[in-house]
């Protein structure tokens, strides 16, 4: 990877408002979608980066942002014994190694090593949200989503005989 791409990645990432926000937070296409990708690619083309350098720079950007947040918001606060990763990035060996290099000597392991599929993160999250909804408890994180207040999420639509949740919380007729 060219030196310019490493410098571009490390120098610019801390300028992005999403990167500067403290967790908990969430992002999506509104933060890093087609518009953002177009702007990055245009900038990298002006620097003369190849397609391979662009992919390497984007990977370094992600690793740098993850490691920076881990150091600032997790490691400095609680000194974890290990970092457990999941999701699509957990399957990118280059990204995982970059994170390992940046937070060493703290081990980085995939959730799969604990019997939780890295592919199942979203399904597990929705199961937890459904459980909280059934218990009648707020499950949103206003500081991450921008919601005005904690609220019970989702809507339970019972069948023709209604629904009884045996553990308290909702009873719908």
Per the rule left: phi > 0, alpha: psi between -120 and 50, beta: everything else, 163 is beta
Its pTM stands at 0.74
Same domain, residue pair 93 and 159: no
> Do 47 and 59 share a domain, yes or no?
yes
pLDDT tens string 108-137: 999 999 999 988 888 998 999 998 988 889
> Mean of the pLDDT values across residues 40-45?
90
pLDDT at 5: 47
Using the 3D structure, point to which of 73, 89, 116 is the last residue of a domain.
116
Residues 127 and 105 placed together within one structural domain of the fold: no
Are residues 78 and 43 both part of a single domain? yes
pLDDT value at residue 70 = 92
Q: Are residues 44 and 56 in the same domain?
A: yes
User: Residue 142 — φ and ψ, nearest 5°?
Assistant: -55, -35
* 3 state SS of 96: helix
Q: How many domains does the chain have?
A: 2
Q: For 78-100, how does the pLDDT look when each residue is reduced to its tens digit (9 = 90+)?
A: 889 999 999 889 999 999 999 99
Residue from 109, 115, 15 nearest 61 by CA: 15
Query: What is the reported pLDDT for 110?
Result: 94
Question: 93 with 157, same domain?
Answer: no
Cα angle 134, 153, 166; round to 5: 5
Look at strands 171-172 and 108-110 and give their pairing: unpaired
Domain span holding position 155: 120-172
């Amino acid at each position: 990877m060219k030196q310019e791409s490493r410098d571009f990645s490390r120098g610019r990432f801390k300028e992005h408002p999403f990167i500067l926000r403290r967790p908990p937070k969430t992002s999506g296409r509104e933060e890093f979608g087609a518009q953002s990708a177009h702007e990055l690619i245009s900038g990298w083309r002006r620097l003369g980066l190849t397609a391979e350098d662009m992919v390497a720079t984007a990977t370094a950007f992600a690793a740098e942002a993850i490691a920076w947040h881990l150091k600032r918001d997790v490691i400095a606060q609680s000194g974890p014994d290990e970092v457990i990763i999941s999701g699509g990035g957990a399957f990118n060996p280059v990204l995982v190694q970059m994170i390992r290099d940046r937070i060493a000597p703290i081990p980085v392991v995939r959730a799969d090593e604990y019997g939780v599929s890295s592919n199942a993160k979203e399904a597990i999250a929705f199961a937890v949200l459904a459980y909280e909804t059934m218990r009648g408890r707020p499950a949103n994180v206003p500081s991450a989503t921008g919601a005005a207040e904690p609220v019970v999420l989702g809507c339970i639509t019972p069948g023709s005989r209604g629904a009884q949740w045996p553990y308290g919380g909702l009873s719908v007729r």
